[in-house]
Amino acid sequence: MDLQLSGRIAVVTGASQGIGLAVTRTLLGEGVRVLAVSRSSSAELAALGGDLLHGPADLMDPEAPARIVDRAVSEFGGLDILVNNAGGPPPGVALPRFSFMAPTDDDWRVMFEFNLFAVVRTIRAAIAPMLARGGGSIVNVSSGNARLPAPMNVDYNAAKAGLNNLTKALSEEFAPQGIRVNTVSPGPVRTAWWTKDGGAADILAAQAGTDRESVLTKVAPDLMKLTTGRLVDPQEVADVIALLASPRSASTTGADFAVDAGFLKQV
């Protein structure tokens, strides 16, 4: 299916690995010019080639979002697509946490800074150049945990719930002006968050008295009641994001799409 994306301009945050890398690769394959944003590049990102620029940025810096949008406009001539993928544990933070009592006030602040306020600032910067081109598509990467409150990672879950609310509000205001805003809510995705040394799989393995690979293949899918029996592949999330970025989804706005291996059970 032709997604009608050739020649469009995108900013993708958190683009050096995981979901963001898969989104960047997919959009490039559709002929999109992409400013790939991350604190540092990666060999995988650098190898993609095509109409790709790396935009080094730390989104914990309140000035960074405006700078990256300005660069996309100056280098490529505008902005049509924004994928707010950067999120999860803020720099230097390891998740999961297992209780409401675990995160401090400072933990809450940095969690919201990274997962909500950085998105607010990036969208604020993106609105004017999108309107100048007659509209665009914003896709915010949320989480199934935004709709499944639990004591584990309570600060992260609350930040993502705020992101879902923000998405609905933005759609109400800007869809009549041609800017569609949607969320994609992954379940557990097999990314560095899970697989790196000291990541979620290692933390859960220590709790369960097992090893990392057992957590990734058995413990986590069972714990989270994943009906597919496995963690999500990043490309599976990227494919949905690409469709939402496309004019083929022109009547889809203010919606949330679960790509979660059956994690959410609610109707």
pLDDT value of position 199: 92
Q: In this predicted model, what pLDDT tens digit does every residue of 191-246 receive, in sequence order?
A: 998 999 999 999 999 999 999 999 999 999 999 999 999 999 999 999 999 999 99
Residue 207 half-sphere exposure toward CB, CA atoms < 13 A = 15
pLDDT higher than 90, residue 267: no
Residues with catalytic annotation? 156
Average pLDDT over residues 111-123: 98
Domain spanning 9-189+233-259: CATH 3.90.950.20: no
- CA dist 89 and 109 (Å) reads 12
- Yes or no: say if 218 and 237 are a contact pair by the CB < 8 Å rule: no
pLDDT tens digits, one per residue of 77-106? 999 999 999 999 999 999 999 999 999 999
**3 state DSSP class of 40:** coil
Please report which confidence band the pLDDT of residue 164 belongs to, taking 50, 70 and 90 as the band edges. very high
Q: What is the per-residue pLDDT for 163?
A: 98
pLDDT at 250 over 90: yes
Q: Where do the domains of the chain lie?
A: 9-189+233-259, 191-231
Say what the alpha-carbon torsion angle 196, 34, 142, 137 is, to the nearest 10 degrees. -170
